[in-house]
């Protein structure tokens, strides 16, 4: 399936969002961009609200925006597939931002605790 043949957004989700969608999403050795969180899944089109983050060691560092996202399988070569998505921008979803910041803060506190206890 190609993005042109991707599942379409319903009228309600289209009306509550704007184009363009999310920029490139990729990580290399835990550094890059990835979606964190999932909320408000639409019963009609199956899209959900996700927040795109700049990540370091797979932990969210800076939110790049929130989007309505539909994920689907896309055939690439010789029957292999990969997960692809189509998206539309929505206002930043602050509850997801708070959870992402909380996850990063918890990981940082745990790392500092490990370093402090190792020094003993």
Does 78 or 70 have the greater pLDDT score?
Answer: 70
pTM summary value:
0.79
3-state SS, the chain, equals CCHHHCCCCCHHHHHCCECCCCCCCCEECCEEEEEEEEECCCCCCCCEEEEEEEEECCEEEEEEEEEEEEEEEEECCCCCEEEEEEEEEECCCHHHHHHHHHHHHHHHHHHHHHHHHHCC
pLDDT tens-digit readout, 17-26:
888 888 888 8
**pLDDT score, position 1:** 43
> What are the boundaries of each domain within the chain?
3-118
Please report the pLDDT score of residue 42 as a whole number: 92
Q: What is the pLDDT of residues 57-69, one digit of tens each?
A: 888 999 999 999 9
Measured CA to CA, the distance from residue 97 to residue 116 in angstroms comes to 28
| Rounded average pLDDT over 24-40 | 88
How does residue 81 score in pLDDT terms, banded at 50, 70 and 90?
low
Average pLDDT score over residue span 87-97:
91
- Per the prediction, the chain carries an average pLDDT of 85
């Amino acid at each position: 399936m190609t993005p042109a043949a991707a599942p379409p957004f319903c009228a309600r989700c289209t009306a509550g969002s704007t184009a363009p969608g999310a920029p490139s999403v990729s990580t290399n050795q835990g550094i890059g961009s990835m979606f964190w969180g999932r909320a408000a899944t639409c019963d009609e089109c199956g899209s959900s609200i996700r927040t795109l983050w700049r990540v370091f060691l797979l932990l969210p560092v800076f939110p790049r925006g929130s989007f309505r996202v539909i994920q689907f399988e896309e055939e690439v070569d010789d029957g292999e597939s990969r997960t692809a998505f189509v998206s539309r921008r929505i206002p930043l979803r602050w509850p997801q931002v708070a959870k992402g910041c909380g996850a990063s803060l918890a990981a940082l506190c745990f790392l500092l605790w490990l370093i402090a206890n190792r020094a003993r």
